[in-house]
Amino acid sequence: MSDTLLEVENLAKHYPIRQGVIRAKQIGLVRAVDGVSFTVKRGETLALVGESGCGKSTTARLVLRLIEPSTGRVGFEGTDITQLSGAALKAFRRRAQIVFQDPYASLNPRLTVGQTIVEPMEVHEIGDAASRKARVEELLQLVGLAPYHAQRYAHEFSGGQRQRIGIARALSVGPDLVVCDEPVSALDVSIQAQVVNLLRDLQQRLGLSYLFIAHDLAVVKHVADRIAVMYLGRIVEIAEKRALFENPRHPYTRALLAAIPHPDPSRRGRVQPLGGDLPSPLNPPSGCRFHTRCPYAQQICKEKDPPLADGVACHFAGQLPPAGLDFSGGLTEKAAQRMALYAAAAETRPG
């Protein structure tokens, strides 16, 4: 058995813009995701980073087939899930689950926590009523809540607790892949640390694979094995975490890393922050999509679209001046802070 769980090839989602009432004419095409390829290995965390509107969340939903792709293939253990339907699709749903960004919108306010967590098991007809109840209690304990919480409603919990409930719901059917769509960006930093560490614990214990979507690079550095950087519907760089942080090869990755606040001003990098806004995916720039904001852009960048080769999509990868960034100091410090917070929180946690 190969150790590749998820294999995404050339995945794209285009939203046509139509105008006219009777005979709708297509007047444009929003390329939300435009030809993305990556793989996720068993037990691995692949982080997808990029600024707002670059297609991260769309990619997440495409991978789970919550929306239909325009083109491309999503292989899950070798099966193309974009072709599935009926029972086969339902079987896939059992193996891939999602954790959402907004803990306040992701739980049905009319259901108790127990009903929320048990529902996926009911849908997939796992066990009987008694074993499901036992499983709910087990899951609640697994995510750091108490069994008696099952009778409560979602509004009685804090954001971090709700996120734990969302995680318990995702885990109730025993998935292999969990897509985390910015699971901690709506939480306080102290709570973020708890949830991130919980996700890591669970990964080690249950052998989960994560597709982890985030825009906070400090969190990503903490959880990811590999990182894919997205820009305007494309992956511009994909690399092992260490390699990416130590030697970012794409100018956009460098700019992203340079944007991480550093506590010591003298150790900030020499890379200038990016100017301008993300161009519209309705009319993406010609050639390399990043050329409008790239400090190293040359004529060829406006004309030719660089392919993703050897993990980076840039005409001048390898020829750029050294970034001169020092991320390790600040980040390790930040991560250490978070770990300390988590340790403190773990001590006060009941049970």
Partner 1 sequence: MSAAAIPAMDKAPRRPTVLRMLMRDTGGAISLFVVILILLLALFAPWLSPRDPYETDLLAIMQPPDGQYWLGTDGQGRDILARMLYGLQVTLFMGLASLVVGGTIGALVGFLAAFYRRVDGLLMRLMDIMLSFPAILFGLALAAIFGPGLTSVIIALSIATVPLMARIVRSSALVVMGLDYIEAARATGMSDTRLILRHLAPNCLSAIFVFSTLRLGQVILLGSALSFLGLGAQPPVAELGAMAAQGRSFLFIAPHISVIPSVGIFVIVLAFNLLGDALRDALDPRLRI
Contact footprint for partner 1 (CB under 8 A): 61, 64, 66, 89-90, 92-94, 96-98, 100-102, 105-112, 119-120, 123-124, 146-148, 151-153, 155, 166, 169, 173, 348, 350
Q: In whole angstroms, how close is the CB of 134 to partner 1 at the nearest point?
A: 15
Residue partners of 92: CB distance under 8 A and separation at least 6: 65, 76, 79, 81, 84
Using an 8 Å Cβ cutoff, are 331 and 264 in contact?
no
Q: Residue 231's closest CA among 210, 209, 254?
A: 254
CB nearer to partner 1: give 123 or 343. 123
Q: In whole angstroms, how close is the CB of 40 to partner 1 at the nearest point?
A: 17
Rounded Cα–Cα distance for residues 285 and 275 (Å): 16
The CA radius of gyration of the chain, in Å to the nearest whole number, is 21
CB nearer to partner 1: give 110 or 275. 110
CB nearer to partner 1: give 106 or 292. 106
Q: In whole angstroms, how close is the CB of 203 to partner 1 at the nearest point?
A: 19
What ranges in 172-278 are assigned the alpha helix state H?
Answer: 189-206, 217-223, 241-246, 251-258
Rounded Cα–Cα distance for residues 255 and 263 (Å): 17
CB nearer to partner 1: give 52 or 348. 348
The count of C-alpha atoms lying within 13 angstroms of the C-alpha of 85, restricted to the half-sphere facing its C-beta, is 2
Q: In whole angstroms, how close is the CB of 74 to partner 1 at the nearest point?
A: 14
CB nearer to partner 1: give 111 or 243. 111
Q: In whole angstroms, how close is the CB of 132 to partner 1 at the nearest point?
A: 14
